[in-house]
């Protein structure tokens, strides 16, 4: 098992997922941005590094059925499946490292909250962006949330890379166009605040 996977499996095995720093009772900002890009329930969505996020619960409620969940942690995916009960068979679950994944299909919408920012190695970022670019359908959208330049420098005890528009633009391949960005304050379960920046990216072919 890679040390990366070991770190995350250990988190989800030993912690109450409602107490981790990134926990959101409701993924308001993601839902807002999905509505901003006019996401429709007929579209396919991939939540990269979904952890135990309740985004999928919200998507199912809205009628989305083509949902793919990817996370390094099998424990996190099992927790979602368990939580969804009789809707647990709707998403496709993939326990994989997104920097080492190739999909045999495309997605209309790519969502990533607090995953890309863990990629401190430039080669991992390149692999991530290559997968993103190959996996987004024509005119598809990506929503990527990272800590902002005013946000923390670590997340879950791991170093991260903070982003603003200029830094994100340097990571994007020519077919990925940064359309907009939004800052958002996340209040952690312990009451502390963290500043995120969400990037809305369009795939142009
Ligand atoms: C800070 S948590 C965010 C979880 C979720 N996106 C949310 O907003 O609640 C980061 C998640 O990304 C997953 N992760 C980290 N690196 C990953 C990678 N290279 N590939 C896939 N998942 C990864 C972790 O297992 C963890 O669940």
Would you identify the CATH topology of the domain 3-203? Rossmann fold (3.40.50)
Nearest CA to ligand 1 atom 10: 115
Tell me what pLDDT residue 204 has. 87
The CA distance from 22 to 51, in Å, is 10
List, for residues 161-192, the tens digit of each pLDDT value. Answer: 999 999 999 999 999 999 999 999 999 999 99
Q: Which residues pair with 197 in a beta bridge?
A: 146, 183
Q: What is the CA angle 107-111-114, rounded to 5?
A: 150
Sign of CA dihedral 136, 125, 173, 28: positive
The CA distance from 172 to 201, in Å, is 9
Average pLDDT of every residue of the chain: 97
Asked if the model's pLDDT at residue 205 lies above 90, the reply is no
One-character DSSP codes across 110-143:
EEEESSGGG--SHHHHHHHHHHHHHHEEEEEEEE
CA of 99 to the centre of ligand 1 (A): 12
pTM greater than 0.85: yes
Sign of CA dihedral 89, 69, 95, 100: positive
Element (H, E) at 186: strand 176-187
List, for residues 35-94, the tens digit of each pLDDT value. Answer: 999 999 999 999 999 999 999 999 999 999 999 999 999 999 999 999 999 999 999 999
Asked if the model's pLDDT at residue 2 lies above 90, the reply is no
Report the atom number in ligand 1 closest to the C-alpha of 128. 19
29 in ligand 1 pocket by Cβ < 6 Å? no
99 in ligand 1 pocket by Cβ < 6 Å? yes
- Chain position carrying tokens 């991939």: 46
Say whether 161 sits in a helix, a strand or coil. coil
93 in ligand 1 pocket by Cβ < 6 Å? no
98 in ligand 1 pocket by Cβ < 6 Å? yes
Asked if the model's pLDDT at residue 1 lies above 90, the reply is no
């Amino acid at each position: 098992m890679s040390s990366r996977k070991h770190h995350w499996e250990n988190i989800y095995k030993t912690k109450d997922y409602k107490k981790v720093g990134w926990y959101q009772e409701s993924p308001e900002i993601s839902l807002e941005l999905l509505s901003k890009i006019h996401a429709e329930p007929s579209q396919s969505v991939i939540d990269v590094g979904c952890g135990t996020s309740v985004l999928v619960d919200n998507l199912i409620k809205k009628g989305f059925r083509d949902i793919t969940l990817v996370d390094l942690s099998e424990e996190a995916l099992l927790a979602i499946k368990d939580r969804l009960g009789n809707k647990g068979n709707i998403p496709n679950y993939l326990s994989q490292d997104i920097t080492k994944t190739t999909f045999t299909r495309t997605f209309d919408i790519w969502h990533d909250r607090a995953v890309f920012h863990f990629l401190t190695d430039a080669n991992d970022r390149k692999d991530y962006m290559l997968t993103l670019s190959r996996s987004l359908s024509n005119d598809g959208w990506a929503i990527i949330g990272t800590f902002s330049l005013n946000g923390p420098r670590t997340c879950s005890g791991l170093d991260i890379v903070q982003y603003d528009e200029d830094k994100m633009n340097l990571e994007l391949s020519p077919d990925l166009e940064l359309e907009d960005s939004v800052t958002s304050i996340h209040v952690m379960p312990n009451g502390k605040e963290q500043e995120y920046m969400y990037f809305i990216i369009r795939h142009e072919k």
